[in-house]
């Protein structure tokens, strides 16, 4: 095992865990926030397991995702907007729990956990299918168009999986207000996709033809 990669991965994992905990429990004013613990469990336990698998099976992909830094100004804006969306959504969920504004039934939280894990499984399948998958928008050396599996259904299955993940998070937390905030992901991701497809058309052979063969970007038969 690459000890340097392991330390880097575990540091980012623990930093993310701490950040999410602060954003949820501080506004809630208590650690007795069961929906928050539920989200932390379904978010970070599979993440930890996936990290271990990647470290063993594909350390290069894990290293690439950990070290990715967006260079394009357009995408830096998208990342900043996404970060603000998450902060607002998590803080709103904590405040919603603290003051009891609009609380969803417990069964909604449990059902959302199931949908969240489905989104995680979809994301794992995308990672398996596409070795060129990156957190940044760029054409990699020797990259080829992937048009099989999920990529034969929609052009951006990774964004389909993140759409499921992000929209179920506030439901796990039991917050309608957070869900409304997370709807901002639609225009944010649409902006990212427009820029990404422009980059791919200009730099990746065969991508223009692929767009004709697979007309849907994220949601089959809808978008």
Q: What is the per-residue pLDDT for 15?
A: 95
Buried b (16+ CB within 10 A) or exposed e, 13-25: eeeeeeebbebbb
CB 79, CB 71: distance < 8 Å: no
Q: What is the per-residue pLDDT for 141?
A: 63
CB 182, CB 189: distance < 8 Å: no
Question: Rounded to an integer, what distance in angstroms lies between the CA atom of residue 160 and that of residue 126?
Answer: 10
> How big, in percent rounded to 5, are the helix, strand and coil portions of the chain?
75, 0, 25
Question: Counting Cβ atoms within 10 Å, is residue 83 exposed (0-12), middle (13-18) or buried (19+)?
Answer: exposed
Q: What is the per-residue pLDDT for 135?
A: 55
Give the domains, in start order, of the chain with CATH numbers. Answer: 3-213 (1.20.120.1630)
Q: What is the per-residue pLDDT for 218?
A: 94
Q: Give me the average pLDDT of each 10-residue run along the chain (223 residues).
A: 82 95 98 97 92 82 71 75 95 97 95 96 87 62 82 93 96 98 95 88 88 93 90
At 103, give phi and psi (nearest 5°): -105, 130
Q: What is the per-residue pLDDT for 18?
A: 97
The number of residues in the chain equals 223
Q: Is the pTM of this model over 0.85?
A: yes
Task: Find the largest Cα–Cα distance for the chain.
Answer: 54
């Amino acid at each position: 095992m690459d000890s340097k990669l392991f330390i880097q991965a575990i540091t980012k994992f623990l930093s993310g865990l701490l950040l999410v905990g602060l954003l949820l429990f501080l506004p809630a004013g208590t650690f007795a926030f069961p929906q928050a613990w539920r989200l932390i469990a379904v978010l970070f336990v599979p993440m930890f397991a996936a990290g271990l698998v990647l470290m063993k099976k594909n350390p290069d992909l894990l290293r690439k995702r950990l070290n990715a830094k967006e260079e394009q100004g357009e995408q830096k804006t998208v990342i900043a907007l996404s970060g603000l969306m998450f902060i607002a959504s998590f803080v709103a969920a904590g405040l919603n729990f603290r003051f009891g504004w609009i609380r969803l039934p417990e069964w909604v939280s449990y059902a959302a956990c199931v949908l969240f894990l489905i989104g995680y499984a979809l994301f794992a399948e995308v990672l398996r299918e596409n070795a060129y998958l990156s957190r940044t928008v760029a054409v990699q050396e020797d990259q080829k168009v992937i048009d099989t599996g999920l990529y034969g259904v929609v052009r951006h299955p990774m964004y389909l999986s993140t759409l499921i993940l992000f929209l179920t998070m506030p439901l796990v937390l039991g917050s309608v207000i957070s869900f409304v905030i997370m709807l901002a992901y639609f225009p944010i991701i649409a902006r990212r996709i427009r820029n990404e497809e422009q980059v791919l058309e200009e730099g990746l052979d065969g991508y223009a033809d692929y767009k004709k063969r697979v007309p849907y970007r994220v949601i089959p038969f809808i978008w």
